[in-house]
């Protein structure tokens, strides 16, 4: 089980691009994924990477005629939360306040961003989170 959890969070750049393409399309064949990639590798390379993502438990497929149609196992929101949790534990020692500090240091936040963050903080306090 530990192997599966690690594999889900350690994706290469091309694997992330493939996942993004499939999330954007909802479900897709290898050809459809290839069309969404910038400077795509060969069809067989994309097919191999998709099969690897499937073996990591991130995708599943169904057969439609002669081709496989792939879809994510979990929603993009769920996958994003899992990846963020991994980043917080790995790079910030599990400290959400360190994450927020890094966000303020690295991103140019607009007044609207700050107002939304304030609303989220107020909601979290109200809900006791």
pLDDT per position as a tens digit, 42-61: 999 999 999 999 999 999 99
Tokens 């790995």 belong to residue? 90
Q: Do residues 57 and 7 make contact, with C-beta atoms less than 8 angstroms apart? A: yes
Cα–Cα distance for residue pair 5/67, rounded to 1 Å = 29
Q: According to the model, what pLDDT value does residue 11 have?
A: 81
| pTM for the predicted model, two decimal places | 0.65
Domains of the chain: 2-72 (1.10.10.10), 94-129 (no CATH)
């Amino acid at each position: 089980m530990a192997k599966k959890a690690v594999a889900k969070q350690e994706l290469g750049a091309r694997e992330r691009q493939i996942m993004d393409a499939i999330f954007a399309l909802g479900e897709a064949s290898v050809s459809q994924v290839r069309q969404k990639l910038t400077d795509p590798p060969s069809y067989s390379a994309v097919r191999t990477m998709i099969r690897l993502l499937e073996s990591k438990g991130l995708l599943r497929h169904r057969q439609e005629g002669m081709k496989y149609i792939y879809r994510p196992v979990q929603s993009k929101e769920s996958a994003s939360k899992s990846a963020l949790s991994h980043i917080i534990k790995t790079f910030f020692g599990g400290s959400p306040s360190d994450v927020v500090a890094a966000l303020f240091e690295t991103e140019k936040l607009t007044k609207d961003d700050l107002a939304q963050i304030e609303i989220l903080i107020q909601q979290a306090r109200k809900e006791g989170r």
